[in-house]
Chains A and B, each alone.
Chain A
């Protein structure tokens, strides 16, 4: 009986908080990974600046909050402000080299360079120090005898809603069918009247908007600093690679599973080793399925 109580206590006070932690980080990683995987699935471009766009979202929130804008307004305004940024970046950088044979290398270098510039710009504008963002929802909720921070529960709910909305848009609407068609066969989609260049720009902007949203959502949890994108982008890339480059389902499932592995493993091993553990899982998955767990965007 005493053992049973011990087990319940362990589940309640040790595992459950870690699972919730893992889920709240997982949701943010999934939002990042969704943007990355959609951009890769459609444009065949690996956006190395995605982490810095996540940071840009957080810094935009910092600026808006400092100007007296309400956090909830920021949550909507920042992703909307990120859309034109993404659109312009795609038009000015990606599309410029899109028809060239060496575009994979060029887009990789261009987005990497953009990331470096953005990171230094954050340093110049906001300084090198960490900026704290107040948690907009304080307190904790008691669920089944366990206490969970309200804001983390909110992040999970918003993240789940966004993942569901993205899934519906991509797989259940005409707009999504256009995106999937353009992802699978650019020429044929174009010959059916799809304005492919505009679809690419809009989708890139959408992915950047998701990164910005993740930046705002996580700012109250992790604070804001110039290199915040670097730490996160590695996790997001791992999730995208394990899930399958270009797969939305893959990004969601891999995001949840990998972040749970990380959260629960940190109970037993030093947190320093949890990232290498995830990379080890990635290597194993790639040995077993070199294309990742699921197929690409246009292939359904």
Chain B
């Protein structure tokens, strides 16, 4: 589904990604781990079209994404839940959600209503707060809105960057449960996450990055048999 080959990204003179190669298959939840500043978010931004790679290939469903604007990438079926949520503070919850529907090829009122109803059924808290401004939501609610907003567009692949950062453990659990449910629905996910133990429970495969490179690739092993894997991933 998603294929990244030999990707290089520069920030001015700084070489942030050094030939990253990575893939996400249909229905996979792939974890991307590593310390802060190793290039995980840079990779997500490059896939989403926020950064222009200096070299390498990004393909989605066989189509090259190089040079496409983020809105075109979104229309191909890639949904982005960025690191800092980026909820629109002046827009209501429902306005935020409706924006996620913009990329649908057929935008009928009935379809929009059905998608909103489906999202509200999944996130009852957002349904209660549908008329509230984005800025009035708690951190957990904003994170749910950021994910829900993308789900309205029914993406084929979700890029989720640090979804539990700064959230209370109980809210983080809800986010992991949500990602697990996405997995059971066959939605592909590329997940960047710091909570290794919990993230491995929802992933099917994982990568570890260090200094702008992929340094590990493998399965997630069974719970209780992950000591060696955790040692590999704690790069």
The interface of chain A, by Cβ under 8 A from chain B, is 174, 177-178, 180-181, 184-185, 187-197, 298-300
Contacts and interface: CB of A to CB of B under 8 A. Distances in A.
Contact of A177 (B50, B73, B86, B95): B95
Nearest to B80: A191
Contacts of A180: 88, 90-91
B70 A190 contact: yes
A196 B150 CA distance: 17
- By secondary structure, the A interface counts as helix
Contacts, number: 76
Nearest to A189: B99
Interface residues of B, number: 27
Contacts of A190: 49, 69-71, 74
A295 B153 CA distance: 31
Contacts of B149: 192
Contact of A300 (B75, B82, B90, B99): B90
A298 B86 CA distance: 13
Contacts of A185: 86, 88
User: Which 4 A-B residue pairs are closest in the complex by CB-CB distance?
Assistant: A300-B90, A193-B103, A190-B70, A193-B102
Contacts of B103: 192-193
Nearest to B45: A187
B88 A181 contact: yes
B71 A196 contact: yes
B166 interface: no
B48 interface: yes
B100 A188 contact: no
B98 interface: yes
B219 interface: no
B133 interface: yes
Interface string B113-141: 00000000000000000000101000000
B99 A192 contact: yes
A298 B96 CA distance: 12
A192 B91 contact: no
- Chain B CB within 10 Å, residue with most, of A187, A195, A196: A187
B61 interface: no
A188 B98 CA distance: 14
B89 A191 contact: no
Contacts of B100: 192-193
Contacts of B98: 174, 177
A177 B49 contact: no
Contact of B102 (A178, A187, A299): A178
A193 B150 CA distance: 10
A178 B75 CA distance: 16
B71 A195 contact: yes
Interface string B48-91: 11100000000000000000011101110000101000101111
Contacts of B50: 187, 191
A240 B48 CA distance: 36
A177 B99 contact: yes
B153 A192 contact: yes
B99 A191 contact: no
A149 B103 CA distance: 51
Nearest to A192: B99
Nearest to B152: A192
B74 A178 contact: no
A178 B107 CA distance: 15
B88 A193 contact: no
Contacts of A178: 99, 102
B47 to A, nearest CB: 11
A265 to B, nearest CB: 35
10 contacts: A178-B99, A178-B102, A180-B90, A184-B90, A187-B70, A187-B86, A195-B71, A196-B71, A299-B89, A299-B90
- Chain A CB within 10 Å, residue with most, of B69, B90, B91, B149: B90
Contacts of B80: 188, 191
A185 to B, nearest CB: 6
Contacts of A188: 80, 82, 86, 88
A194 B91 CA distance: 15
B49 A193 contact: no
Contacts of B75: 193
B89 A184 contact: yes
Contacts of B89: 184, 299-300
A40 B133 CA distance: 23
Contacts of B133: 300
Nearest to A199: B71
Contacts of A195: 71
